[in-house]
Amino acid sequence: MRRIDPQEFPSKFPGNVVLWKPSDAAMLASYAVYQVLLEAGLPPNVIQFVPADGPVFGDAVTSSEHLCGLNFTGRTFKRLWKQVAENLDRYRNFPRLAGECGGKNFHLVHSSADVASVVNGTLRSAFEYGGQKCSACSRLYAPDSLWPQIKEKLLEEHGKIKVGDPAQDFGTFFSAVIDDKVSAVSCLCWGAAPSWSMIMGRRCVPLAAALGARGRALTPPHPQEIFGPILTVFVYPEKRFQDVLELVDTTTPYGLTGAVFAREKSAIEEARRRLRNAAGNFYINDKSTGAVVAQQPFGGSRVSGERGKTPHGRGERPPRPPPRAPGGRLHAGGPAPAAGALLSWNRMQPLNHGHQEARGSVGRQRREERGSERALS
């Protein structure tokens, strides 16, 4: 089994002998995890830690007759898939390929949404971890009736974000991005979007947001995942909610995560139906990030990649959560009645995000959905 790691989650392994190629941007953290595993008693040959140039490593493993699987995170999955196909007659087994290739994730705001929930969720999703998460929000769709309130609160809260060195000050929210590539892409995307206006931040500087010209079709400043703290905003006429659902679904080829903010049950149900294929993990009144590893499914569709990287994406049942507190009920982000709900299209069932609660088998799906509908009412 070959494992090619991302920078943000450098310690996930399948249950096989592994060649582990760490991200160039997270080499030290990955090596520290590797040393901990060895010190904990892992036999030294179970995991081979192989720092290498990405294309060189990819060429080597896909040409080996012993390749049995590839677990990949990055943007060159198509290249690796083609190489495997070209070498198929060479392998002793049919290799299994699983890949996650990023996302251009959205927050869709309905006119019935709670503004505080929208602002808090969007700022955290877009700028936490420097926007360097595959699930980070990079597209915000807001109705013109709420946009003045949302903009005011966004600017207010954005101004409170503390930038600095978290090693020196634990109150720091935002620190340095992983490398110079993020800043370079930031400059590139602004140069490609002359019709957009800056509402916070500065050009070529992280922690920025852009506002699309009202009434125009949304074209992100950069067509691919930026993987940095860049947020684009499109203000749509409130009465054209149906049209913006189509826009959200067709703007990018990705389909990893997304969220809808609304308090009207009919709007939530319509968004669930229309955006079914736009996100593998779909959130209701919660930010598009934060699925708990090993407790909640995670995965996308379309060019975001194959969904079999996590056990739950393959249909396996997650472990039971801790017992719910008597009468306990979490509402994340304000008074919205559906706060904190997570819908995983991987298994077609709603999950309680606040309690990391994963429910039973697919056979109970309809009963769970009815329970979710009661929670939304």
Residue 187 annotated as catalytic: no
Query: Of 8, 101, 128, 134, which one is the catalytic site residue?
Result: 134
Across 320-343, b (16+ Cβ under 10 Å) vs e yields ebeeeeeeeeeebbbebbbbbbbb
Beta bridge partners of 305: 100
Residue 157 annotated as catalytic: no
Strands 18-21 and 69-73: unpaired
Query: Of 100, 128, 306, 357, which one is the catalytic site residue?
Result: 100
CA dist., res. 133 & res. 9, Å (int): 9
For the stretch 232-237, contacts whose Cβ atoms lie closer than 8 Å and that sit 24 or more positions apart, written own/partner, are 232/138, 232/139, 232/140, 232/196, 233/140, 233/141, 233/142, 233/199, 233/209, 234/139, 234/140, 234/141, 234/142, 235/142, 235/143, 235/144, 235/147, 235/211, 236/141, 236/142, 236/143, 236/144, 237/143, 237/144
Taking a C-beta distance cutoff of 8 angstroms, is the pair 228, 7 a contact? no
Nearest to 342 by CA among 358, 330, 355, 353: 353
Nearest to 280 by CA among 300, 303, 260: 300
Active site residues: 100, 134
